[in-house]
Structures are given as structure tokens and as C-alpha cells.
Amino acid sequence: MNMVQRVIVCVFLLVFLTQCNNPKPVELKDMPSRYASTFQMTTPDRVIIDDYTKLSDTIPARTHEMKDSVEVKKMMALLFQLPDSGEIMIKMGDVPLKRVNLVFSDHIEMIEFYNGRIKTPATSFYAQPNPMEQAVFDLVSRDSL
């Protein structure tokens, strides 16, 4: 092998190894997502919040990330204390929707608030106001997360 061929092979190997060592980051839209089956979850890697002006909107009016790890842990501790099912079913009109995306390494769990009320994993709502529900809603509604 002459010098030119060796240089070409070295460049090829360098490019190949560089590409193998830098995997493309996973896009959130490519990750499997599902509604939370329980509020008893571990702390996610990230929390992304989508605010929809009304339930029928297909594109959020605002998307932001909860970046403060203390606030995320506080939110998860509050969620952990909430019952997984409520006592009533509510037919919602075109009310404001807040979708909380709990991003784990391999999937996304979603929790939704309709007009400020949390939809439980059993798809019901609490009959009486719940202070922990309100505290979670207040945390995910802050402007500076």
C-alpha cells in the first residue's frame, strides 16, 4: 500500500469511528409516549410542559421545561401521594389543557390537567378539591421553571 492509500484508509477509519461514537440524540417526538398508569413513579430525566389554550387545539400555545431539579422532585413527591383514581367522571368542554410530559430514558409518561384539574391514571377526577393536586398544578404553571 502506498502512502496515499494509507492516508485514505486512515481518514476513512477516523470518520467511521467519529460517527460511531457520536450517536444522534433521541428526539422527544420519536420516543414512545403513554398516559401515566400510576402516580407512583420515579423521578424523570426531564419535565416538559405543554400549555394548550383549549382542549381542541393541536399545537400548544406554549411549551417550557421544568429545569429546577428540586422543583421536579417536589412535584414527584406530591404526585406520589395522590390516589390513582378519583370519584367522578367529568365531560369536559373546550377548556384549557396542560400536558405534563415526564421524560424518562426510554419513554414519556403524560399527565394532564383539564381546566386546572388533574386527570387521574384511572381517567377520573377527584370529587373534592385536593391540596396536593393544586400544589402540583401551581408548580407546573409557574412562569420561571
Count Cα atoms within 13 angstroms, Cβ side, for 47.
Answer: 24
Distance in angstroms (rounded) separating the CA atoms of residues 77 and 114:
21
pLDDT value of residue 89: 93
β 33-35/97-103 pair status: unpaired
User: Look-up: residue for cell 406530591?
Assistant: 78
Cβ atoms of 84 and 122 within 8 Å: the answer is yes
Give me the chain's average pLDDT, please. Answer: 87
pLDDT value of residue 105: 92
For residue 29, give the nearest of 57, 60, 66 by alpha carbon. 60
User: Look-up: residue for cell 457520536?
Assistant: 22
The percentage of residues in the chain with a pLDDT greater than 90, rounded to a whole number, is 70
Mean pLDDT for 18-31 is 62
Q: pLDDT band at residue 21, thresholds of 50, 70 and 90?
A: low
Mean pLDDT for 66-80 is 95
pLDDT value of residue 1: 66
Distance in angstroms (rounded) separating the CA atoms of residues 73 and 44:
9
Where is pLDDT greater, at 129 or 74?
Answer: 74
Distances (CA, A) of 20 to 10, 12, 13, 23, 47: 15, 12, 10, 7, 29
pLDDT value of residue 69: 93
Mean pLDDT for 11-28 is 59
For residue 46, give the nearest of 5, 85, 94, 101 by alpha carbon. 101
| pTM score of the predicted model | 0.78
Residue-wise pLDDT for 104-115, tens only, equals: 999 999 999 999
Distance in angstroms (rounded) separating the CA atoms of residues 3 and 130:
75
